[in-house]
């Protein structure tokens, strides 16, 4: 077997990196991919258009739209200048609120009741008959039938009523009709205006216009009703409130009157006069206190005097001064002096006692006046508080009384905050379905889906379509590119190659032979093994074709069947004997007795046979090695067809005695993972694959993938050289 350098390792997971970044998008390749799938895209697009046309022209029910316009008023123009109880429309947010009011279930419920839509089959689905009607589509009939088939029968419990009460059921039906009407009504505001467009969709043109006008009228009437109810409620509430305030006012006035009668006449002016009096009294008390202090000090000084001179100086009395002139010399005068001085002390003591009495009287008057001021101040505060409460109650009573009169005057003169700007016009034609739009959208969706399928198929594809892709991914050379042989039976393959020696398939086999022989010029391989990843990749056909082609060089060739489990050669050569290689190796028969040369095939064929011996054990034996050595001496080339590598280990065992290993890969079929795994198994066995064969190539497929003008024998100009 031809050895390969140990440093040449197979790296299936590391293909040659492209020059451009991995995340770049090749627009040309993308367009080419879409162009290759143009028929699929066209088919999907046509199917989508057919579905859209069926929906638009057959299934879809024609719908008509009618629009009524309502303009909203501001809150400034109130009648008679009275303040509006029910509010009105002001800012833009109020306009948005009115949009929700129009779409509200309450208003829609009034429209349902007014128009008696409960009896309309368009809104009440329970009234729709299960039998076909002129307005009922086949699709609706199919859905009705399907629901009746799929809906299971509900068992009725003896304790639970089978159906809800009539009132609840009627309410449920009414709610369903309201929801149905809401789904057919849209309300929009015209930008920068206070105009609302009320659009209704219906299966009948006149009905759409009638419902739109009815919603507008009911909306305007609802505004008046809301204001009337609000005014009526306000009148009742204000009447009760005015009555309560009147009673409270009477109670407040009575409390003021009773308090005034129970207390002295109190006023701010009288209280201010008392405050002036107490101020004057306090001034007098201060003066009296100072005078008493002077008197008390004089009395103390008089009592403290010892000598006549001191007494005379303190008394400041003229009579005492005359007595003092002779007092020192005349005892009688001294006695008169002392008597006179004692009288002066007694008079000073009397003045002090009188000053104390006056001061006490003034302080008593002050305390009484202070108590009077305090009492009258509290009474004044209480009186003022009662008066303020009475005034506040009176003010509130007058306000509510005025509001009651205004509210009562508003009854009967309410005006809605909106008016009908324009009535709905009966549409002349259906607004839905928009057939041209549906077809256009169907075509666009079909193109997108078709392109998506093509791109998804391309992304998910992990097979090989060119030899360059296969070489870049595996790192091995592609030695042959074999086209698909257009024969239905395997037995006719040999006839096809013999009868058309200048066909593309025959020339491809010659190219494979040439590449194989030139792979080692000094020592051309004699034992050639052909295998693949999985069954059905054309390795047996390639083996037979290569054997026949080697005969053209005048070589003696032995075609040996290594796939003794399936015995595929018997499908190509029906005349093979029942005994084969197992019997030769076991010694039951000789090689010459079982080797066979089929008619029209110049090579010898040694087939397999039915056996219970393990094939791997047979090819791993020394007898098989000796047999190959013997055959090397008899034949110029030995072609061995082996089983797939991923199925059984026979190919790797037989490869130990082979000079060359040709690995077949089916075009646009074998996955990269399968090829990687098979080559990895050869690598783990320290066996080098000589080359790859891209087999069963479809010329039409290469053209559809856009490779017809680029890849040699399968390009457009290559067809001139072949006789197919």
Residue 512 and residue 660 in contact, taking contact as beta carbons nearer than 8 Å: no
Residue 714 and residue 707 in contact, taking contact as beta carbons nearer than 8 Å: yes
**What is the distance between the terminal CA atoms of the chain, rounded to a whole angstrom?**
37
What's the pLDDT score for residue 364? 84
Helix (H) / strand (E) containing 581: helix 581-586
Side-chain half-sphere exposure of 19, counting CA atoms within 13 A: 1
What's the pLDDT score for residue 714? 53
How is the chain split into domains, by residue range?
Answer: 42-148+164-231+416-422, 268-410, 463-718
| Cβ neighbours of 477 (radius 10 Å) | 14
- pTM for the model stands at 0.53
* Phi-psi domain of 127 (left: phi exceeds 0; alpha: psi -120 through 50; beta: other): alpha
What's the pLDDT score for residue 88? 54
For residue 380, give the nearest of 259, 275, 277, 279 by alpha carbon: 259
Classify residue 697 as exposed, middle or buried by CB count within 10 Å of its CB (0-12, 13-18, 19+). Answer: buried
- Phi first, then psi: give them for residue 374, nearest 5 degrees: -65, -45
Give the residue ranges of the chain where pLDDT is below 70: 1-24, 74-93, 129-167, 260-271, 376, 408-414, 488, 704, 706-724
- Phi first, then psi: give them for residue 301, nearest 5 degrees: -65, -40
d(CA 724, CA 710): 20
Longest CA–CA separation in the chain, Å:
205
- SS3 of 375-429: the string is HHHHHHHHHHHHHHHHHHHHHHHHHHHHHHHHHHHHCCCCCCCEEEEECCCCCCC
What's the pLDDT score for residue 688? 92
Full strand arrangement of the beta sheet holding 418-422: 185-189, 195-202, 64-72, 418-422
Give the pLDDT confidence of 82-99 residue by residue, as tens digits.
Answer: 455 555 554 556 788 888
d(CA 87, CA 417): 9
Residue 12 and residue 679 in contact, taking contact as beta carbons nearer than 8 Å: yes
Helix (H) / strand (E) containing 320: helix 318-326
- Phi first, then psi: give them for residue 255, nearest 5 degrees: -65, -40
**What fold does the segment set 463-718 form as a domain?**
Rossmann fold (3.40.50)
d(CA 269, CA 623): 148
Which alpha helices (DSSP H) does 263-307 contain, by range?
268-304
What's the pLDDT score for residue 708? 60
Which alpha helices (DSSP H) does 127-204 contain, by range?
138-150, 166-183
Please state, in angstroms and as integers, the Cα–Cα distance from residue 255 to each residue in 258, 263, 267, 509, following that order: 5, 12, 17, 129
What's the pLDDT score for residue 304? 80
């Amino acid at each position: 077997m031809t050895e390969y350098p140990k440093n040449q390792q197979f790296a299936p997971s590391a293909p040659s990196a492209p020059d451009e970044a991995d995340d770049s998008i090749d627009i040309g390749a993308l367009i080419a991919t879409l162009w290759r799938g143009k028929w699929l895209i066209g088919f999907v697009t046509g199917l989508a258009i057919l579905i859209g046309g069926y929906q638009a022209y057959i299934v879809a029910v024609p719908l008509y739209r009618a629009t009524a316009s309502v303009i909203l008023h501001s809150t400034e123009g109130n009648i008679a200048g009275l303040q509006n109880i029910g509010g009105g429309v002001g800012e833009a947010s109020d306009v948005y609120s009115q949009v929700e009011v129009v779409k509200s279930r309450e208003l829609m419920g009034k429209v349902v009741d007014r128009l008696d839509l409960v009896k309309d089959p368009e809104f009440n689905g329970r009234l729709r008959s299960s039998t076909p009607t002129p307005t009922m589509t086949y699709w609706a009939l199919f859905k009705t039938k399907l629901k009746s088939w799929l809906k299971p029968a509900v068992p009725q419990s003896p304790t639970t009523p089978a159906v809800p009460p009539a009132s609840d059921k009627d309410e449920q039906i009414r709610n369903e009709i309201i929801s149905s009407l809401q789904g057919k009504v849209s309300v929009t505001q015209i930008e920068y205006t206070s105009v609302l467009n009320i659009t209704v969709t219906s299966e009948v043109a006149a009905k759409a216009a009638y419902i739109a006008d009815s919603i507008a009228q009911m909306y305007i009437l609802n505004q008046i009703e809301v204001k009337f109810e609000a005014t009526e409620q306000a009148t009742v509430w204000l009447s009760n409130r005015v009555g309560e305030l009147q009673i409270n006012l009477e109670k407040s006035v009575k409390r003021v009157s009773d308090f005034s009668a129970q207390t002295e006449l109190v006023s701010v002016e009288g209280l201010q006069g008392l405050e002036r009096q107490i101020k004057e009294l306090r001034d007098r008390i201060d003066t009296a206190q100072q005078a008493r202090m002077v008197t008390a000090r004089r009395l103390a000084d008089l009592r403290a005097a010892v000598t006549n001179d001191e007494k005379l100086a303190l008394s400041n009395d003229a009579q005492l001064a005359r007595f003092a002139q002779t007092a020192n010399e005349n005892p009688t005068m001294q006695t008169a002096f002392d008597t006179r001085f004692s009288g002066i002390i007694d008079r000073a003591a009397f003045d002090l006692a009188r000053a104390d009495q006056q001061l006490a009287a003034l302080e008593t008057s002050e305390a009484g006046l202070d108590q009077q001021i305090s009492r009258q101040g509290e009474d004044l505060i209480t009186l003022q508080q009662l008066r303020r409460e009475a005034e506040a109650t009176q003010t509130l009573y007058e306000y509510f009384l005025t509001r009651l009169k205004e509210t009562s005057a508003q009854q009967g003169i309410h005006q809605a905050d909106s008016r009908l700007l324009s009535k709905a016009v009966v549409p002349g034609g259906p607004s839905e379905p928009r057939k041209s739009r549906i077809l256009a959208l169907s075509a666009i969706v079909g193109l997108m889906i078709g392109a998506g399928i093509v791109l998804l198929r391309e992304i998910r594809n992990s097979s090989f379509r060119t030899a360059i892709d296969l070489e870049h991914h595996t790192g091995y050379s592609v030695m042959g590119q074999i086209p698909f042989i257009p024969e239905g039976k395997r037995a006719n393959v040999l006839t096809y190659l013999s009868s058309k020696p200048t066909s593309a398939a025959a020339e491809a086999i010659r190219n494979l032979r040439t590449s194989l022989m030139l792979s080692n010029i000094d020592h051309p391989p004699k034992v050639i093994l052909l295998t693949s990843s999985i069954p059905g990749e054309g390795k047996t056909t390639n083996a037979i074709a290569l054997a026949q082609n080697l005969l053209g060089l005048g070589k003696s060739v032995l075609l040996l069947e290594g796939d003794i489990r399936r015995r595929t050669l018997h499908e190509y050569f029906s005349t093979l004997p029942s005994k084969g290689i197992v019997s030769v190796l076991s010694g039951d028969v000789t090689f010459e007795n079982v080797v066979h040369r089929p008619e029209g095939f110049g090579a010898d064929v040694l087939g397999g046979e039915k056996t219970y011996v393990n094939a791997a054990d047979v090819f791993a034996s020394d007898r098989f090695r000796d047999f190959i050595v013997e055959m090397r001496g008899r034949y110029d080339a030995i072609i061995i067809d082996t089983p797939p590598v991923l199925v059984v280990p026979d190919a790797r065992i037989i490869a130990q005695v082979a000079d060359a290993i040709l690995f077949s890969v089916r075009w646009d079929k074998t996955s990269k993972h399968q090829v990687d795994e098979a080559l990895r198994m050869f690598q783990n066995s320290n066996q080098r694959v000589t080359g790859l064969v891209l087999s069963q190539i479809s010329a039409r497929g290469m053209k559809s993938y856009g490779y017809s003008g680029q890849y040699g024998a399968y390009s457009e100009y290559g067809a001139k050289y072949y006789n197919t």
